[in-house]
Structure 1
Amino acid sequence: MANDASRQGRTALVTGGAGCLGRAIAIALHDAGHQVLVTYHNSAAAARAWQDEQAGLGRDFTLYQVDVADNAACQALVRQLEQDGRQVDILINNAGITRDASLRKMSYDNWSEVMRSNLDSMFNMTQPLCGAMADRGWGRIVNISSVNGSKGAFGQANYAASKAGIHGFTKSLALELARKGVTVNTISPGYLATSMVKAVPEEVLKEKILPQIPLGRLGEPDEVAALVAFVCSDAAAFMTGSNIAMNGGQHMY
């Protein structure tokens, strides 16, 4: 049963908020009526500039710095949230990195760095927060995976493995929390019009990436963010353990 916060807006925590998708998700959740906390890792100046820009538009975001690959840092963040009187009702595990190379040329550091940032972070951020959600009888956990976690990609054995692992984590946790009023879902975007993808040479984009996408274009971060906001709503209460694809038809399953 939903708690009283359902009538007042809830508090959402979005990791990886310095990136294009994280920012779009934060805005969508704010505009849905929630208080939004945003984490970043290295880009403090950019994060605070964005915070100031959004404040000028009437959106108030609270920033926290944390390395989601570091369990001790995540535990410290949760303690800080408690000290600040923050109750996290919605957790968006969005932070992630790439370190691409064919497996023959991939270093162990590049393998382990991606696994820690993309997959260990699921445990690091979720484990200290999900119990309180269950105790309160309401929660939403959304884990951001990728189309390449389902279909694979050349040069991304580390990234694809980490993103595939996310949905195994989602399904198991969804079973554990289903009777507690907490839903856990995966969203797997395709290629989005983010700064990282836009930096790809135009000929590569036109000749190799777009031909794979039946809709013939990149997705917009705002489109994925709108899906996240729905999954976090009361209207999506019967959805848990799902892997929701939004990839322009690039991979259908």
Structure 2
Amino acid sequence: MSLENRTAVVTGAGRGIGKAIAEKLASQGATVVCVSRTAENCGAVAEGIKAAGGKARALAVDVSSASEVAEASKTLIEEFKTIDILVNNAGITRDTLLMRMSEDDWHSVLQTNLSSCFYWLKGLVQPMVRQRWGRVVNISSVSGLIGLPGQVNYSAAKAGMIGLTKAAAKELASRNITVNAVAPGFIRTDMTASLSEGDAAREIMSRIPLKRFGEAADIAAMVGFLCGDEASYITGKVFTIDGGMVM
């Protein structure tokens, strides 16, 4: 699944799933732009990729800001002429019960997790349209499919990503641009560390037929496949990687 001579933008690439995706695409030959809010985090990932023989560059962007994403998109197109692959992975949580959730909890999650996908797609899709080739992968969640208590903001954002995926797939198919979503279940990352032991872990495991958390590499493997030519006839789909949690 070679991605030689392809350029990929991966948001939320500073850690966890995003880091694994960036490393996977680089291992397949892509030049990877590692996007994160903090320069230190995305810089470390980019340097690690280069140390392993890959091609990468870091870019610090607040993905919840339309103006920052627009400026970053312009900069990247000027530098690379085209962006072939976009992986919208950036995400945050502000979990709390509905009655306790503040407007800021709601808006910050929607802006970072959902609006950012629109900003990046709008900023980078024109070169894909011109060259009649592109791959977009949005990292949603099983929370967007089934809803989870304490996550009305996160579930709404991730469900919105699925709707965006399907609509964009229909709009862009005539230009040979595929748009798909990956919906992870419980994946072992910093974000889920507090859920990996004790009563919380036991309750989660009761819902997972495979009886284990997934790994970031599991998500990266699917993204790597969807970005290659082997997946050229797949678009508008949602792939759950969740140990059988959602069937």
Give the RMSD, CA atoms, in angstroms: 1.5
Matching residue within 108, 111, 115 for 1:116: 111
What is the CA–CA distance in structure 2 between the aligned matches of 1:145 and 1:39, rounded to whole Å?
A: 17
CA distance in 2, matches of 1:160, 1:15: 19
Say whether 1:31 aligns with 2:45.
Answer: no
Task: Name the structure 2 match of 1:52.
Answer: 47
1:33-182 paired onto structure 2 within 5 Å: 33-42=29-38, 44-182=39-177
The corresponding residue for 2:222 is: 227
Per-residue CA deviation, residues 169-220 of structure 1 (Å, 9 max, x unaligned), is 1111111111111000011010101122123362134322122111000001
Deviation at 1:86, TM superposition (A): 4.5
**d(CA) in 1 for partners of 2:112, 2:96:** 17
Runs of 4+ in 1 over 4 A off after TM superposition: none
Q: C-alpha distance in 1, partners of 2:180/2:169?
A: 7
Partners of 2:81 and 2:96 in 1: how far apart?
Answer: 40
Match of 2:243 in 1: 248
Q: 1:7 to 1:225 in 2, by over 3 A?
A: closer
Distance, in Å, in 2 between the alignment partners of 1:208 and 1:160 is 19
Matched residue pairs, number? 246
2:203 matches 1:208:
yes
CA contact (8 A) 2:184 2:219 kept: yes
Aligned equivalents of 2:114, 2:201: Cα separation in 1: 31
Alignment TM-score, normalising by the size of structure 2: 0.95
Q: Which position in structure 1 is the counterpart of 2:13?
A: 17
Instruction: Give SS of 1:92's match.
Output: strand
Distance 2:98 2:138 in 1: 26
Q: Deviation per CA, 1:34-77, whole angstroms, max 9, x where unpaired?
A: 111110103x2233233333333223320001111110000100
Structure 1 portions without partners, runs of 5+? 1-5
1:103-126: per-residue Cα shift (whole Å, max 9, x none)?
100000100000101111111100
Q: CA deviation at 1:148?
A: 0.7
Report the Cα distance in structure 1 between the residues aligned to 2:196 and 2:29, rounded to whole angstroms. 39
Aligned-pair CA distance for 1:8 = 4.0
- The CA distance in 2 between the partners of 1:109 and 1:175, in whole Å, is 33
5+ residue gaps in structure 2?
none
With the length of structure 1 as denominator, give the TM-score of the two structures.
Answer: 0.93
Return the offset for 1:128.
1.6
**Counterpart-to-counterpart distance in 1, 2:80 and 2:226:** 25
Aligned residue type for 1:152: G
Residue 80 (structure 1) shift: 1.3
Once residues 3 and 136 of structure 2 are traced to their aligned partners in structure 1, the CA distance between those partners, rounded to angstroms, is 19
Q: Within 1, Cα distance between the matches of 2:3 and 2:21?
A: 21
